[in-house]
Amino acid sequence: MANLKLDWVKVEKAREAAKRISDDTQLYLDQYTSTTVERAICRLYGIDGVDETGVPLPNVVVDHLAQHKVLGHGAAFWIGQAALATGMSPQEIAEAVARGELDLTHVEPHDSFAVQLWADTNAQAALKRIAENRAKREAKLAEYGDRKGPLLYVIVATGNIYEDITQAKAAAVQGADVIAVIRTTGQSLLDYVPYGATTEGFGGTMATQENFRLMRAALDEVGAELKRHIRLCNYCSGLCMPEIAVMGALEGLDVMLNDALYGILFRDINMQRTLIDQGFSRMVNSAAGIIINTGEDNYLTTADAFEEAHTVLASQLINEQFALKAGMPEEQMGLGHAFEMDPELENSFLYELAQAQMARQIFPKAPLKYMPPTKFKTGNIFFGHVQDALFNMITVTSHQRIHLLGMLTEAIHTPFLSDRALAIENARYIARAMKDFGDDIDFRDGGIMETRANEVLDKALELLLGIQRDGLFRTIEEGRFGGVKRPFDGGKGLSGVVHKEDHYMNPFVPYLLAAGKSTQEVSNE
């Protein structure tokens, strides 16, 4: 494989700065939990369903504890106390709270050691199910094999899960490797997870556990016919990030959108809440063997892709460090970037290739996710198809792993079945025609691409050193990512940030971290 000559001393300095940024930030975050982390814990203990007014039972339990101002002890502590006092299961406890028949703060108190023992013992059922789903995925990949080149990734977004299933199956037959069920507009701002199968949505479909189950079963069915494992992707972001991670892990999803900064910058979710939530959600995804996709491509839709390319690299390095803190191996870090430069820019193809190749070299084990052109798509579908072809060429040449296909009708409507077929045909043709192109070329010393990559690296290092000096929170307040400013005490969801009490209990953390660590050790052998 041809390589750009990068200044590796600067790469290591940038990585070390990102580590210190994440270390300093984590010291603050470790003092807090959040309402959605606690709801995720409820879900891991098997609490599901809704009350008579349609409120999800995990919300009922956590809201009950928050109203009594005792959530800082952890949902696991209070569920364990109630289970020991009443003999009820977590689901029965939640239903009794919903009916107003049980106050968790007034049950007979038990020794904290006994509660911890209950919490650890009863954590095993969910952990076992997550491990079984992971083993099932790995068995299918061993049986069917896996695509060696880029995984072809397409989206379905009808709003109706049953129509999504029809379209997803068609895309799999056409050659897609990853099906992403786009989440309905605005769901990231809901502070609860809707329940059951859904048939209405705008710009996408509700992310619910039942929808996950239905789509997983459908892709397993078509995958068995095709003798391929079709990966399923959804969105583990927003105000319910940890809960959706749990739902995905329990239902066997393969890929999750899961970024440390995306919700802050592009959904105005409070930075403290998002950074707390991403930590636990990544522990879950890591243990489940789910590849995360980060959202650096979004920076290039709000800022100029040529001028702000260094913010992408800086964010990738920060995302990498937060993922490592959650026990995630590099092989599950689908760090994001995008082909978003103005097509009127001379040599834009060279600059795009330099950026993609640089990312490939700096993150050699990561299944990088490369996003197609969207910002400069117009109603000219023929020119759009050419833009996608150039993007596909860079994807193959620089050995990207997750290849989100561009659609020739990107700027017009949600893709038709025929649009996906053309996108897959385009990508497969280029993958065949240019299969070994990236291994058969060299980058000219001092050439446009090498110079460009090192300029981006220099700026990323400068930015990271500035963040290390000023702190991540202040950096976000000043709008140094994507030109978007967010206040430390502003945004949605701040009220869901909860200070941990001295004997706070979350029994899942050590098990999840241990699962991720064991995966890292295997991958490093």
From the list 45, 153, 192, 262, the catalytic residue is: 262
Cα–Cα distance for residue pair 425/24, rounded to 1 Å: 47
Q: Would the CA dihedral through 215, 139, 132, 257 be positive or negative?
A: negative
| Residue-by-residue DSSP string for 23-70 | HHHHHHHTTEEEHHHHHHHHHHTT--SB-TTS-BHHHHHHHHHHHTT-
Judged against a pLDDT cut of 60, whether residue 524 lies above it is answered with no
The values of phi and psi at residue 17, to 5°, are -65, -40
Whether residue 12 has pLDDT greater than 60: yes
Q: Is the per-residue pLDDT at 522 higher than 60? A: no
Q: What pLDDT is attached to residue 55?
A: 98
Contacts of 451 (CB under 8 A, 6+ apart): none
pTM passes above 0.85: yes
What is the distance in angstroms between the CA of the first residue and the CA of the last residue of the chain?
Answer: 22
pLDDT for residue 164 is more than 80: yes
DSSP 3-state of 278: helix
Identify the pLDDT of residue 300. 86
Quick: pLDDT tens for 424-455.
Answer: 999 999 999 999 999 999 999 999 999 999 99
Higher local confidence (pLDDT), 416 or 10: 10
- Identify the pLDDT of residue 481: 83
Residues 6+ apart with CB under 8 A from 174: 420, 421, 424
480 pLDDT more than 80: yes
Q: Rounded distance, CA 194 to CA 97, Å?
A: 19
What pLDDT, on a 0 to 100 scale, did the predictor assign at position 519?
A: 57
Catalytic option among 297, 377, 419, 492: 297
- State the Cα–Cα distance between residues 280 and 402, nearest whole angstrom: 24
Q: How far is CA 143 from CA 138, 140, 228, 341, 353, in A?
A: 9, 5, 9, 40, 35
Mean pLDDT rounded to a whole number for the chain: 95
Give the tens place of pLDDT for each residue, 243-298.
999 999 999 999 999 988 989 999 999 999 999 999 999 999 999 999 999 989 88
Contact 441, 406 (CB under 8 A): no
Neighbouring C-beta atoms of residue 108, cutoff 10 Å: 9
Helix (H, G, I), strand (E, B) or coil at 314: helix
Distance set, CA 113 to CA 31, 34, 44, 75 (Å): 22, 24, 21, 16
Of 317, 315, 312, the C-alpha closest to 14 is 317
Please report the sign of the dihedral spanned by the C-alpha atoms of residue 508, residue 129, residue 79, residue 497.
positive
pLDDT score recorded for residue 2: 82
Helix 35-44 with 271-288: angle, nearest 10 deg: 20
Residues 6+ apart with CB under 8 A from 416: 409
**Residue 185 pLDDT greater than 70, yes or no:** yes
Report residue 352 as tokens. Answer: 């795009």
Gyration radius of the chain's alpha carbons: 23
Query: What is the per-residue pLDDT for 1?
Result: 64
369 in catalytic set:
yes
Taking only the tens place, the pLDDT of each residue in 289-331 is 999 999 898 888 888 999 999 999 999 999 999 999 999 999 9
Q: How many CB atoms lie within 10 A of CB 85?
A: 16
Is the pLDDT reported for residue 523 higher than 60? Answer: no
Strand 291-293 relative to strand 255-257, pairing: parallel
- Contact 257/295 with Cβ under 8 angstroms? yes
153 an active-site residue? no
Q: Cβ distance 247 to 209 under 8 Å? A: yes
Catalytic one of 140, 369, 377, 492:
369
- What span, in angstroms and rounded, lies between the C-alpha atoms of 183 and 243? 15
| pLDDT mean over 120-141 | 97
Q: What number is the average pLDDT over the span 221-230?
A: 98
Percent above pLDDT 90 for the chain: 91
SS3 of residue 87 by DSSP: coil
Strands 151-156 and 402-404: what pairing? parallel
pLDDT at 119 over 90: yes
How big is the chain, counted in residues? Answer: 525
Average pLDDT over residues 500-506: 95
**3 state SS of 148:** coil
Examine the pLDDT at 379 and tell me if it is beyond 70.
Answer: yes
Q: Which domains does the chain have, with CATH numbers?
A: 1-30+294-489 (3.20.20.440)
How many beta carbons lie within 10 A of that of residue 164, not counting itself? Answer: 25
SS3 298: helix
DSSP secondary structure string, 118-163?
A: HHHHHHHHHHHHHHHHHHHHHHHHHHH---SSPEEEEEE--S-HHH
**Does the annotation count 297 as an active-site position?**
yes
Mean pLDDT of the 498-521 span: 86
Give the torsion sign (CA, 205, 210, 212, 213): negative
**pLDDT at residue number 521:** 57
Q: How far apart are CA 280 and CA 496, in angstroms?
A: 15
Measure the CA angle with vertex 330, ends 328 and 333; round to 5°. Answer: 80
Given a contact cutoff of 8 angstroms between Cβ atoms, the answer to whether 457 and 313 are in contact is yes
pLDDT at 520: 55
d(CA 456, CA 337): 14
Closest of 72, 468, 473, 500 to residue 272, by C-alpha: 473
DSSP of 175-214: T-SEEEEPBPTTGGG-SS---S-----SSSB---HHHHHH
CA-CA distance, 58 to 47, in Å (whole number)?
Answer: 6
